[in-house]
Structure 1
């Protein structure tokens, strides 16, 4: 018997009649990413994104490591420095990263932490009772995504130095990431440290091969995070230095240091006048969980361990209607909540319902209050501290440890229950005010629900017909429709010719609308401009706002490119944020960007535009300098637009309204919060902060920028 093998065998037919689909897919097609390669290949898995948010996440990872030293009682000062060369440096006076050799890997502690994923002092529970950096990937991820990273450690009387390029250890022969690099493992002793001085300094340059070109660091966000951490770790000093000189700004430093803890933080966050004092609820709970633990041989062994969880909450009810809840686990913010927040919300609702019944504030026929009723006007800071919490993902936005819900709920039920039943005179008055507010919120909600069917696309404070001054669009497709809120009737005429009436609607407003920062709801709705905006958008306002009922997919604020226009945009933004916040949260509010100048080129070459538009004085100077350098002449003087009404319809469409050529600035929640903060300072009831602001800013005023 013999067999013949064809030189080029045909694919073996399958049962379905086709070729074997697996013949071209074998083990050689599989890839194995070693060490930090996985981080560089999929950075979004570790830092969320490769834009500015990813850059900020890298800073948080290094700062959190320093803060963990503060939580353990070994660090009192942290410096964060944004350097002019694009690097970032974080310095602390903690114990310093260990510099001795780890026996299993043969690497020093510095190299181990910086080059190995899931390596650190936070797994066994012996180094940190509670920490923010928990997965052991923070420092190594930052290292992997840096074109250069330098670590200096003061420990045992010596200064130890080590450098890395994209995660690989070595030595740079010069400054910056472009210096010649020689691969080399091990620490270098760079000098002597002062007696008794310890600490760590980490400096890194973000890798342009990984991060987007337009990725920038947000200084205000960094300062906000530093302030938040200083509140959460009483006594810790955090200084933020900005040496970048962005847009010609001088170097600055701002230091944060608080001793009042989360009670002081709660007062800082509160957006309204107080109805109650800050209530502090504290307690401790215990639970058991089975986790893999490294034994002496380096093997993971499933072990049942006992945990202790410390719970600390600060609550303050105010006269307003907005709810502010900030939650933290070992000072790491959990913006999307988790089990500790769900336990808090469930327990506070249950406890207040019980007290409302016992005190007979709620009648027997009335239903229980809901979570929304309890949270109305409440500012709450919820913190828990315990070893090795289980987060959902490296970005640590949600706590997943189940025991936190039960322990937080027990602390709230016991501590808050005792306060609500207190017989002290001051406590009784405060409790009565809280109970009345919660009951009133519940009754308002029930009344609103009963009328909801009759006010589907309007609320009870609106009329049934649209204002006559509205220039509506023909389309009803919310995915396409746009509402332009236009400053002034003069600009309305030009905009009416410039728009596409199929999907672009116009609503003119007269000058500056009411400042709703301090106005009551009734005063706001008596104001014709505010009422018209709410009515035209058609989704109600406040707690009855229904995002799905909004008549337009985009709401675009179109005002002059001057100081008055900026003021009007801020007023409109405050109105939308205070009364229609879901519209802002959904990213459906925009600010149009009309140009400030028009440059007329006298003899444009073929393919060169005759008119150039610039949007700021800085851009104008840069553009004119570029034209002069290229020998292009322009007509003097350059036209400066005083308002939208100076443009003809073609110019307005080309620069501001045509989706193919315009620039829109999406308004985010942080923008709205910043606007609200400025209004509180400049237009609120407190005179002293406003006077200080004016006095401090007088010396910085550039008189040449005054339009007089």
Structure 2
């Protein structure tokens, strides 16, 4: 098969598929040619228009496709590029030092798979135009792909323009003989990649216009970012930063044997010196997920390749060296893994080089072997400089990153141990569960509840007040560890925190498995005083940092115990009378005063003094049941993620490592303090 026949016969070899993915790939083959002009510094704006008739138009203000005749073939540059495979400006001589379209087949493939393709080139003071039908040059009698067509070579000239005005406009209609009827270009995927490309080429404006909006104004959006991949890294990061955005840049050279056309017209293997430029932006955050994007000459490589292999190898090697140098890893400790290092990592890895080796036209994997060595050297040297820096600010940031990675390794090992022992068992079968756990008989998640109770004294009353069929109890001794400013290792060493994780049985951090949780609800039951609120905040901080899926699923609650009990006098005991007929519970001092005033107006009397509970342990079992534990009478407050997030922020402010924000908080709040409430 000659020329473009092979493309139409086996389109999947060139564009991957004939569905929406393949059609989108065609569009990006054309856009990438404009992007290559921008990479070379010749283009500052690209416009992409999705027309209502299903066609796609790409415009740029680059140099324009050459319009002069090529000596060997006698064809103009436009016709040569659009009809001959491997005739693109990147395929050989040196029009581009680095580009995305490296196989030299992109434009011609799109042309072969288009029912109609129109090209307009502004160059040399004139506008040149040419049309094609399924790869054959010619002229259409009217607009649209179904108009009458006459085959024939040659460029048409459509008027004069300013000599400095240059650019290319390409509009194509996909051939429905090739593509599936439902094949379409999704706007969101176009916008995402346009934004991505604008990040990768600082100063380039990419405008997207979608005119396929029936009865509504066209959708339009522009992207331009001057901060480059550093800004891209910040955009991708989903969590709070614990390190600044680090930028590693460098280059390396390598020799590559490629066939070169000699003077006799023969392909001769020749050693060619290549330069590979590396640009990496990365930062660590407080979260658990990792986001790593990789690019070769601004073309995304979602499946990685040799450049990602070098990047990951450098990360693991340098981090392990620094962890041992700083004694965060002992001599007999296992080395941290790639997953530990990449916990909370957001990174953008880009390399630029002439004629990279891709696996296939879809360019999803880089195969150039030298990229691994060069990227590893650049990233390794500069990351080591940051992690071993003696500058005060950088030293603290590096220490924070290393501690996070070391803690991730400890959490991974601890989670592995937990998974081996923490499965749903009753207390008699499992010696791994804490001895103080008072479990329930039911294993059904729809009913089972775990009460985390403040203190052993309250546990005794709660045992009598609970329904042992579905209510389990776990006592904690006072205030647990403040996990907001503690490492994962310290948290796991804390007896109370470890017991809570063990009883819930679903792991912690990024390994937390909501489906493995042993109870349908977790209810925090603390005293109705300041200390109780403090304990509740500490518990919420633990759940927010290490068991967040429980909060997101709405399975964490706070019990609402009363603060006062009013015992009414002269109440006749009737058969079937409810407990509230004799006792009234209030939950704050203000509510108590309102209730007493209402009783006084009704002429009701009560026993003095009104009982005020100092803690859950002061309540009788029937009182605790009817106010706090019995589902028929109790009130529960569902804790949401934003509640826990606010608690974590308050703890970070009041008990975290940063002193300055706490000082500002105290100074600003001093004016609001009621001096009469100060004892001395």
TM category (shorter chain) comes to 0.5 to 0.7
| Distance in 2, Cα, partners of 1:308 & 1:99 | 31
RMSD: 3.4
- Is contact 1:61–1:133 with CA below 8 Å preserved after alignment? yes
Matched, 1:133 2:98: no
Q: 2:176 aligns with which of 202, 208, 217?
A: 208
* Aligned residue number for residue 443 of structure 1: 410
Q: 1:467 aligns with which of 438, 444, 466?
A: 444
SS at match of 1:239: strand
| Distance in 1, Cα, partners of 2:88 & 2:239 | 43
- Extract unaligned runs of 5+ from structure 1: 1-32, 471-520, 523-530, 551-577, 581-678, 686-708
Matched, 1:335 2:302: yes
Shift of 1:448: 1.6
SS at match of 1:265: helix
| Distance in 1, Cα, partners of 2:295 & 2:440 | 44
TM-score (norm 2): 0.64
| Distance in 2, Cα, partners of 1:324 & 1:62 | 28
1:677-692 counterparts in 2 under 5 A? none
* Aligned residue number for residue 115 of structure 2: 147
1:266-665 counterparts in 2 under 5 A? 266-296=233-263, 298-455=265-422, 467=444, 469=446, 543-544=510-511
Shift of 1:313: 0.4
- Is contact 1:340–1:399 with CA below 8 Å preserved after alignment? yes
* Aligned residue number for residue 67 of structure 1: 35
SS at match of 1:302: strand
SS at match of 1:64: helix
SS at match of 1:365: coil
Q: 2:135 aligns with which of 145, 154, 167?
A: 167
Tell me which moved more, 374-383 or 214-223.
214-223
Shift of 1:349: 0.6
| Distance in 1, Cα, partners of 2:130 & 2:506 | 59
Matched, 1:104 2:72: yes
SS at match of 2:416: helix
Matched, 1:55 2:32: no
Instruction: Kindly provide the CA deviation profile for residues 110-165 of structure 1, in whole angstroms up to 9, marking residues without a partner as x.
Output: 11111111111112241100000000111111111110000001111111111000
- Is contact 1:542–1:579 with CA below 8 Å preserved after alignment? no
Cα gap change, 1:430/1:123 in structure 2, threshold over 3 Å: closer, same or farther?
A: same
SS at match of 2:128: strand
- Is contact 1:293–1:303 with CA below 8 Å preserved after alignment? yes
| Distance in 1, Cα, partners of 2:424 & 2:74 | 69
| Distance in 2, Cα, partners of 1:132 & 1:412 | 23
Shift of 1:249: 3.4
- How many aligned residue pairs are there? 467
| Distance in 1, Cα, partners of 2:244 & 2:259 | 44
Shift of 1:335: 0.3
* Aligned residue number for residue 177 of structure 1: 145
* Aligned residue number for residue 242 of structure 1: 210
| Distance in 1, Cα, partners of 2:355 & 2:208 | 29
- Is contact 2:37–2:43 with CA below 8 Å preserved after alignment? yes
SS at match of 1:74: coil
Please identify runs of 4+ aligned residues in structure 1 that moved more than 6 A: 460-465, 538-542, 545-550
Cα gap change, 1:684/1:180 in structure 2, threshold over 3 Å: closer, same or farther?
A: farther
Cα gap change, 1:239/1:297 in structure 2, threshold over 3 Å: closer, same or farther?
A: farther
* Aligned residue number for residue 509 of structure 1: none
Matched, 1:222 2:190: yes
- Is contact 1:174–1:180 with CA below 8 Å preserved after alignment? yes
Instruction: Kindly provide the CA deviation profile for residues 244-300 of structure 1, in whole angstroms up to 9, marking residues without a partner as x.
Output: 224x33212211111100000000000101111000011110100101123345432
- Extract unaligned runs of 5+ from structure 2: 426-431, 434-438, 448-487, 492-499, 518-547, 551-639, 647-680
| Distance in 1, Cα, partners of 2:341 & 2:239 | 16
Cα gap change, 1:579/1:49 in structure 2, threshold over 3 Å: closer, same or farther?
A: farther
- Is contact 2:343–2:405 with CA below 8 Å preserved after alignment? yes
Instruction: Kindly provide the CA deviation profile for residues 529-564 of structure 1, in whole angstroms up to 9, marking residues without a partner as x.
Output: xx9xxx9xx9988744799999xxxxxxxxxxxxxx
SS at match of 1:221: helix
SS at match of 2:119: strand
| Distance in 2, Cα, partners of 1:105 & 1:463 | 86
Greater Rg by CA: 2
Cα gap change, 1:443/1:96 in structure 2, threshold over 3 Å: closer, same or farther?
A: same
| Distance in 1, Cα, partners of 2:40 & 2:9 | 34
Shift of 1:418: 0.9
Cα gap change, 1:176/1:377 in structure 2, threshold over 3 Å: closer, same or farther?
A: same
- Is contact 1:457–1:540 with CA below 8 Å preserved after alignment? no
- Is contact 1:355–1:420 with CA below 8 Å preserved after alignment? yes
Shift of 1:410: 0.3
SS at match of 1:350: helix
- Is contact 2:418–2:507 with CA below 8 Å preserved after alignment? no
* Aligned residue number for residue 56 of structure 2: 88
Tell me which moved more, 314-323 or 357-366.
357-366
| Distance in 2, Cα, partners of 1:439 & 1:359 | 11
| Distance in 1, Cα, partners of 2:265 & 2:303 | 35
- Is contact 1:169–1:184 with CA below 8 Å preserved after alignment? yes
Cα gap change, 1:259/1:463 in structure 2, threshold over 3 Å: closer, same or farther?
A: farther
Cα gap change, 1:109/1:464 in structure 2, threshold over 3 Å: closer, same or farther?
A: farther
Cα gap change, 1:88/1:362 in structure 2, threshold over 3 Å: closer, same or farther?
A: same
* Aligned residue number for residue 580 of structure 2: none
TM-score (norm 1): 0.62
Shift of 1:455: 4.7
Instruction: Kindly provide the CA deviation profile for residues 424-458 of structure 1, in whole angstroms up to 9, marking residues without a partner as x.
Output: 11101110110010000000111122233335799
Shift of 1:193: 2.3
| Distance in 1, Cα, partners of 2:113 & 2:440 | 57
- Is contact 1:322–1:376 with CA below 8 Å preserved after alignment? yes
- Is contact 1:457–1:539 with CA below 8 Å preserved after alignment? no
Shift of 1:463: 11
Instruction: Kindly provide the CA deviation profile for residues 333-384 of structure 1, in whole angstroms up to 9, marking residues without a partner as x.
Output: 0000000001000111100110111111112221111100000000000000
Cα gap change, 1:318/1:149 in structure 2, threshold over 3 Å: closer, same or farther?
A: same
| Distance in 1, Cα, partners of 2:360 & 2:242 | 38
